[in-house]
Copies of this chain bind each other. A is one copy, B any other.
Amino acid sequence: MKVKIRNKKKDYRTVWFSKGRVWMLDQPKLPFKFQIAKFKNYKATTNAIKTMIVRGAPAIGATAAYATAQAVLAFKGSDLNEFNKYMGTAAAHIKKARPTAVDLEHAVDRVVKSLRICDQVKECKVVAEQEAEAIAQEYIAVCKKIGENGNKLIDDNSRILTHCNAGWLATVDWGTALAPIYYAKRFGKKVFVFVDETRPRMQGARLTAWELAQEGIEHAVIADNSAGYYMQQGEIDLCIVGADRIAANGDVANKIGTYEKAVLAKENGIPFYVAAPRMTFDFKCPSGDQIPIEERSGEEVTKIFSEKGIVQVANPSSPARNPAFDVTPAKYIKGYITEKGVLKKEELKKLL
């Protein structure tokens, strides 16, 4: 997508690979600073996932694919057995970066699997880089398709609630939950987006609001507490969110607070959609209660990102708890916006 910097518009992707390095927009610095970070080996790239320089299930997937390629490129020697052992360790290291987004695992496995056709280590190096780039390109194509399919759900003058950031910053380009909104805009529809600020890490207020401002889409940031109020007042027509992992039964793990909004949408008769590519579905996982939920440091609650850096906002002598995700049972979800169309829970097997 295009970013306007000092009055010039330039095309950016969230993450890309060049000269053996992984480059990405430094997301904890946004929107106060637009800065590009680069990582020269797979351990540094894995750490960037862990510390959330990059976040969002598809963006994590693409980054993990690039990290896997970096691991392949770094191997010194030509013994395939040694190489395979080394890659086993490297792949396990990358996969451990974060537990909830299944794209991470899927992307690493796919790059490793692609190497099976190779007879020589040097061949692996070519194939790994190609496969990683193919994954990133597929995410772009798939997100565009999600935009196309989701656009059909959006009437002119719709007022849409979204939670967290499932925009192009959470993917490689286009986004998942925001892709239908960008598509609708390009087709001349007028939309208004209520942006849940999404405490504790404020991905809504910082990233989604920034993206929408870049795209010239009318929006307002709201405290997460206000979403229910606007639903009750009849000011929200539909909700679209992203996902970190979707179980076989349609239960969705996504940013903490998604479950709250889904329950409130149901209570107020508002359709609640989840937008996600095939890569975010985990058909090996039967239901949401099997999805591991990452508990992050309480300091993400007691402190906050601001223009003045990270500052304390809670009573200093009080502890905090910080589950990063929650699981929304499938019964609250009206449909899944995927590259294969808008599917109902019963139709998810079409993705297999």
Please give the residue numbers on chain A whose beta carbons come within 8 Å of chain B beta carbons, in ascending order.
31-32, 194-195, 197-200, 202, 205-206, 209-210, 212-213, 219-229, 232, 255-257, 259-260, 263-264, 267, 298, 301-302, 304-308, 311-323, 326-327
Assess whether B257 is in contact with A223, with CB atoms less than 8 Å apart.
yes
Contacts of A256 in B (CB 8 A): 223, 225-226, 229
CA A31 to CA B195, docked complex, whole Å: 29
Least CB separation from A210: chain B residue: B315
Assess whether B306 is in contact with A311, with CB atoms less than 8 Å apart.
yes
Seed contacts A206-B315, A232-B327; 4 additional CB < 8 Å A-B pairs: A221-B315, A221-B319, A227-B260, A228-B326
Assess whether B259 is in contact with A223, with CB atoms less than 8 Å apart.
no
Assess whether A318 is in contact with B219, with CB atoms less than 8 Å apart.
yes
Contacts of A305 in B (CB 8 A): 313
Least CB separation from A218: chain B residue: B319
Indicate whether A223 sits within 8 Å of B200 (C-beta atoms), given known contacts A232-B259, A308-B311.
Answer: yes
Contacts of A298 in B (CB 8 A): 220-221
Assess whether B199 is in contact with A315, with CB atoms less than 8 Å apart.
no
CA A228 to CA B228, docked complex, whole Å: 13
CA A31 to CA B316, docked complex, whole Å: 8
Contacts of A323 in B (CB 8 A): 226, 229
Please give me the 8 A-B residue pairs with the lowest Cβ-Cβ distance, nearest first. A225-B257, A205-B314, A209-B315, A228-B260, A209-B318, A306-B311, A199-B223, A221-B320
Assess whether A301 is in contact with B259, with CB atoms less than 8 Å apart.
no
Assess whether A313 is in contact with B205, with CB atoms less than 8 Å apart.
yes
Indicate whether A318 sits within 8 Å of B221 (C-beta atoms), given known contacts A306-B306, A307-B311.
Answer: yes
Question: Most chain-B Cβ atoms within 10 A of its Cβ — which of A194, A220, A229?
Answer: A229
Assess whether B308 is in contact with A221, with CB atoms less than 8 Å apart.
no
Assess whether B221 is in contact with A198, with CB atoms less than 8 Å apart.
no
CA A32 to CA B314, docked complex, whole Å: 9
Assess whether B264 is in contact with A318, with CB atoms less than 8 Å apart.
no
